[in-house]
Structure 1
Amino acid sequence: MGLRLVLATLLAATMTIAARAEPIPVVASFSILADFARNVGGDRVAVTALVGPGGDSHVYTPTPADARTVAAARLVVVNGLGFEGWLPRLVKAAGGKAIVIEAAKGVAPRKAADDDHDHGHDHSHDAVDPHAWQAVANAKIYVTNIRDALIAIDAAGTDAYRARATAYLAQLDALEAEVRKAVATIPAARRKVISSHAAFGYFADRYGIAFIAPQGVSTEAEPSARAVAALIRQIKRQQLPAVFLENMTDPRLARRIAAETGAKIGGTLYADSLTAENGPAPTYIAMVRHNIKALTDALSD
């Protein structure tokens, strides 16, 4: 009996350790949030992005597999600020008991530009720009919210989450300094570009580079011929030095504008999505570094 008791105790202990080692299922609405969650959660979490690298969260259509993924999750991380108009219906349909958190909670929202329209978010005249992660200081708010949410569902991992979040926040502080140093090398008169997706408002507000877009906040609707003609006149009048392509819009529009104005095609700026691992922006930090290098290369004398 004594041996059986020892074996039973060992088996129970082994099963408890195995259960604790099972990573916590976390769902993020898109790839940038998934990267934040992985950085904070480490091997204590298994993170799934509903909209993966290269995807467009503005126009995404959830699948039955997404509903099953959400149903199995313990935590669902969303951006908020009206970004994922399709997500509340998905969470309701999925059922499950996951905690849903808005990573952007606590961010000071900026109003969407007056010409942002038809963008598929919850829209009104008071609509806000949801792309808050484009300012590194806001990304730090996202990370803090994700840290606190993970601690709430996994108190045993508190020390690990705090340590990983602190280390990652330090990397973001260093990234903020990199961006400011890079922008300082661009002559003030040249800190203005046209981008094919108006996702950089928070970046513009924080770092002082003006973005003029032929499209609104979303990628769903092409601008009218009249809007494009007006934009071309504006580029010529303001002598904008560069046109940037964003990773989820038809590049032909920006190329047409560049051909008619003489503005330089500056490359691709990544806004709403990371790239695959073998791409130039597989993480948030890599995305910001790619974008600021593209900007400085095109705008510096």
Structure 2
Amino acid sequence: MRRLTCLLGFCGFLSILPARAAPAPHVVHAVASFTVLADVVSHVGGAHVAVTSLVPPDGDPHEFEPAPDDARALRQADVVFMSGEGLESWFGRLAHAAGYQGRPVIVSDGIDIHTEHDGQQVETDPHVWNSVPNVIVWTSNIRDALIAADPADADDFRASAAAYAAQLHALDHDIRTAIDTIPPARRRVLTSHDAFGYFGRAYGVTFMAPQGLSTETEASAADVGKLIAQIRETGMTTYFLENATDPRLVQQVARATGAQPGGELYAEALSSASGPAPDYISMMRYNTDLMVRAMRPH
């Protein structure tokens, strides 16, 4: 009886000891070049990944000027994600300043990249994310890179990537359905710079812009004059600004043609958390809604 009493007492003592905490999950520290990409990485990584975007919300990924904090983030990263295709022309300077010796993951690998001819020069269009099927490719590339960085959580990365890809397929279907309500002759949009080429090819919309593929380039007077003539010929009545670009050039074109503002599109940067485009899927739905409203016959 005495032995049983001691045993019961010992078991009671064990029951009041604090439970041993489960080991903290391994967190991959990821850096993404700009907000759209950072959002996709966050969805694929889930709780296993902490993501830092170098370019801030509403920031221009073409003309970004890195700061010392960006160099620090790069040095501390387990994995770095870039879209590539010439978008992040500043990354080499940042990597040199940070002493970064790693190899970034180029998430646009495997995408059918489009080029444009500007006189004798061939330019690559880097704005691949404005076509949803391309971001499904991103999702697979990001999943594989995260599995390589953290093999123990591979099953979770596969599951979250599959769930996000399903959301993207639904988004792609919804955009096509919305654009199909517009007569083909009216599927024309005037924007600040040429950032929606992939959207146009995927969904059958013609985009016109006074500025080229990069906000670092300047439109010539001849280019602007030609655009004004095209707009008058097609009868376009609405123009759009972009959240990350200088609005003055497109406003000049609008004044010359009588086009009226249709709102602000999010071409290559998310809004702040309180804005209308805090994540990629919201951004694409918001942009599509604005365009369809402007293109619809009145």
Residue of 178, 194, 218 corresponding to 2:190: 194
Q: 1:283 to 1:166 in 2, by over 3 A?
A: same
Percent identity reads 46
What is the match of residue 264 of structure 1?
260
Q: In the comparison of the two structures, how many residue pairs are matched?
A: 280
Distance 2:249 2:86 in 1: 26
What is the match of residue 49 of structure 1?
53
Does the 8 Å CA contact 2:60/2:245 hold for their aligned counterparts? no
What one-letter code is carried by the residue in structure 1 that aligns with 2:151? A
What is the match of residue 27 of structure 2?
23
Aligned: 1:173 with 2:169: yes
Within 5 Å, give how 1:89-168 maps onto structure 2.
Answer: 89-96=93-100, 98-112=102-116, 114=118, 125-168=121-164
Report the CA distance between 1:253 and its aligned residue. Answer: 2.6
Does the 8 Å CA contact 1:242/1:265 hold for their aligned counterparts? yes
Considering only aligned residues, what root-mean-square deviation do their CA atoms show, in Å?
A: 2.1
CA deviation digits over 1:39-74, x for unaligned, max 9?
000111110000011111101111222111111101
Does the 8 Å CA contact 2:28/2:149 hold for their aligned counterparts? no
What one-letter code is carried by the residue in structure 2 that aligns with 1:197? H
Residue of 215, 219, 235 corresponding to 1:219: 215
Helix, strand or coil for the counterpart of 2:118? coil
Structure index of larger Rg? 2
TM-score (norm 1): 0.87
Residue of 249, 266, 274 corresponding to 1:278: 274
Helix, strand or coil for the counterpart of 1:55? coil
Helix, strand or coil for the counterpart of 2:110? coil
Report the CA distance between 1:80 and its aligned residue. Answer: 0.8
What one-letter code is carried by the residue in structure 1 that aligns with 2:265? L
Distance 1:283 1:73 in 2: 22
Helix, strand or coil for the counterpart of 1:168? helix
Does the 8 Å CA contact 1:192/1:241 hold for their aligned counterparts? no
What one-letter code is carried by the residue in structure 1 that aligns with 2:252? R
Does the 8 Å CA contact 1:190/1:241 hold for their aligned counterparts? no
CA deviation digits over 1:225-245, x for unaligned, max 9?
333222212211222232111
Structure 1 runs not aligned, ≥5 long: 1-12, 116-123
Distance 1:168 1:100 in 2: 22
TM-score (norm 2): 0.88
Helix, strand or coil for the counterpart of 2:47? helix
Residue of 82, 88, 103 corresponding to 1:84: 88
Residue of 69, 74, 82 corresponding to 2:78: 74
Helix, strand or coil for the counterpart of 1:279? coil
Q: 1:131 to 1:84 in 2, by over 3 A?
A: same
